[in-house]
Amino acid sequence: MLILASQSPRRRDLLAREGVVFRVVVREAQEICDASLGPEALCAYNAGAKALAVAREFPEDTVVGADTLVFLDGQPLGKPVDLEDARRMLRLLQGRTHCVCTAVAVVLPGGERRDFCERSFVTFRRMDEVAIERYLAEVYVLDKAGAYAMQERSELIVERVVGDVDNVIGLPVRRLLRVLRGDAVEGECGVVGGAEVGS
């Protein structure tokens, strides 16, 4: 049985879209927010913590944990604490390109690990205060890293995406499926396929 160690409805939707049979089990994990580690190492640590917290309880199942963060100038932007914090993040991101990093930790039955990391690059439109307020009025952002959702009204804020759009939403699901099939795993982060999406 495949277990998704994540409460994210976006990750659940991405797996379900591909016809994957899975169940969700979440256990408390000690996450860190140490920007000095760098995007890949920080996300990888947290993804692994989430997966292992569940795998210890279900050693005969395959457990998938994931962690997604928005990075601007090497600094992580997590979930905003309130709307003013969300405004601050959107002001920082507007008119600029940032990195979205997702690390995925896969724990197989018996404890074997197949972990990988994916990066995508998102360029925001230039936005004035009116545009920011419109977006915040239409999208609930307090549970989203970087204070935005790629899958909700992104045409209001996003100019283009280079890389996997699913990764920006929260799970590079096609690459995950290759890993679950046993295909080779590239250890380093990278833009796979170089896809570019514009609105």
Query: 28 or 16: which carries more pLDDT confidence?
Result: 16
Q: How many helices (H) does the chain have, and how many strands (E)?
A: 6, 8
What confidence tens digit (pLDDT) does each residue in 22-74 have?
999 999 887 766 666 777 888 899 999 999 999 999 999 999 999 988 999 88
* 123-127: average pLDDT: 95
* 150-167: average pLDDT: 92
Q: How confident is the model at residue 187 (pLDDT cuts 50, 70, 90)?
A: low
**Under CATH, to which class is 2-184 assigned?**
alpha beta
pTM: predicted TM-score of the whole model, two decimal places: 0.83
3-state secondary structure of 67: strand
Do 101 and 72 touch, CB atoms closer than 8 A?
A: no
What confidence tens digit (pLDDT) does each residue in 76-101 have?
888 899 999 999 999 999 999 999 99
d(C-alpha 22, C-alpha 64), whole Å: 10
Q: How confident is the model at residue 110 (pLDDT cuts 50, 70, 90)?
A: confident
Catalytic site residue from 13, 34, 61, 67: 67
Range scoring the smallest mean pLDDT among 57-61, 149-153, 191-195: 191-195
Q: What is the mean pLDDT of the chain?
A: 87
pLDDT at 191: 38
Domain ranges within the chain, ordered by starting residue: 2-184
**Is residue 192's pLDDT more than 60?**
no
Is 61 annotated as catalytic? Answer: no
Query: 140 or 32: which carries more pLDDT confidence?
Result: 140
d(C-alpha 86, C-alpha 148), whole Å: 8
